[in-house]
Amino acid sequence: MNPKPPTLRIDIISVQPDLLHSPFQHSIMKRAQEKGLLEVVVHDLKKYGHGKHNQVDDYQYGGGAGMVMMIEPVDKCIQQLKQARDYDEVIYLSPDGELLDQHLANQLSLSKAMIFLCGHYKGIDERIREHLITREVSIGNYVLSGGELGAAVLVDTIGRLIPGVLNNEVSALEDSFQDDLVAPPVYTRPELYKDWSVPPVLISGHAAKIEEWRRTEALKRTAIRRPELYQKWLDQKL
């Protein structure tokens, strides 16, 4: 009897695969894989490189500083992966890609299989982006040494949304940004510490009042800390 396939499989192509082992061997991502809900497989692009040194980069045409990842090794790796299954997306982690937010994470979490390509050096041959990539994603307006850390962030953001990964699935629905608001303050025991007390409403047992308080605090915090999100929320209500 064949084992049930994972809810989501993610293949990551990298020239620095060792950077990606630890993030998926701990905590929630580890449990997701142990439950058979998520499968993350990291592929060393150098196995598809040229010559005895497994070359995957070369000088850029027209001159300029920095090496460029070559199209042939990337194409060979992607085509080999596609022989085993169909992929919903082939994503390139890029500083100029679509900015990752919770709505994009929600959308990608519905996929069955995806390939993530981690850039390195000066970047990748533009023909890879034109012919092999279906989507480009950025985790922020800054530049990293490679796409590996971005890939790890994207896997974590998506993986925790898969049904069954979190012990309490309602938790994911209450995360910051799910409704374009940041999360409200949270408290735990002790009720009183150094004269610092928990808001009385949270220990009142009145569910409706607690929910109202949380909503109000989320709105206040969003308006102060992320005014652009607050304005987006207001615009949606008009």
Question: Which pLDDT score is estimated for 52?
Answer: 85
Question: Which pLDDT score is estimated for 87?
Answer: 98
* Cα–Cα distance for residue pair 4/161, rounded to 1 Å: 19
Preceding amide of 17 cis, omega within 30: no
Q: Around 105, how many Cα atoms within 13 Å sit in the side-chain half-sphere?
A: 22
Cβ atoms < 10 Å from Cβ of 182: 20
* Cα–Cα distance for residue pair 144/140, rounded to 1 Å: 10
Domain locations in the chain as residue ranges: 8-159, 176-237
Confidence of residue 202 (pLDDT cuts 50, 70, 90): very high
Question: Which pLDDT score is estimated for 180?
Answer: 79
Average of per-residue pLDDT across 155-161: 96
Mean pLDDT is lowest, of 56-60, 97-101, 123-127, 163-167, for: 163-167
Q: How far apart are the first and last CA of the chain?
A: 55
Average of per-residue pLDDT across 31-39: 96
Q: Decide if 30 contacts 95 (C-beta within 8 A).
A: no
Question: Which pLDDT score is estimated for 167?
Answer: 76
Question: Which pLDDT score is estimated for 51?
Answer: 85
3-state class of 136 per DSSP?
Answer: strand
Taking only the tens place, the pLDDT of each residue in 75-98 is: 999 999 999 999 999 999 999 999
Average of per-residue pLDDT across 142-154: 95
Alpha carbon of residue 234 to chain centroid: 27
Question: Which pLDDT score is estimated for 168?
Answer: 62
Confidence of residue 24 (pLDDT cuts 50, 70, 90): very high
Q: For residues 134 and 4, which has the higher predicted lDDT (pLDDT)?
A: 134
Average of per-residue pLDDT across 40-56: 95
Question: Which pLDDT score is estimated for 78?
Answer: 98
Q: What radius of gyration do the chain's Cα atoms show?
A: 22
Q: Decide if 93 contacts 139 (C-beta within 8 A).
A: yes
Q: State the amino acid at position 165 in one-letter form.
A: V
Question: Which pLDDT score is estimated for 236?
Answer: 86
Question: Which pLDDT score is estimated for 205?
Answer: 96
CATH number for region 176-237: 1.10.1270.20
Question: Which pLDDT score is estimated for 32?
Answer: 95
* Cα–Cα distance for residue pair 201/203, rounded to 1 Å: 5
User: Residue 238: is its pLDDT beyond 90?
Assistant: no
> 8-159: CATH homologous superfamily?
SPOUT methyltransferase, trefoil knot domain (3.40.1280.10)
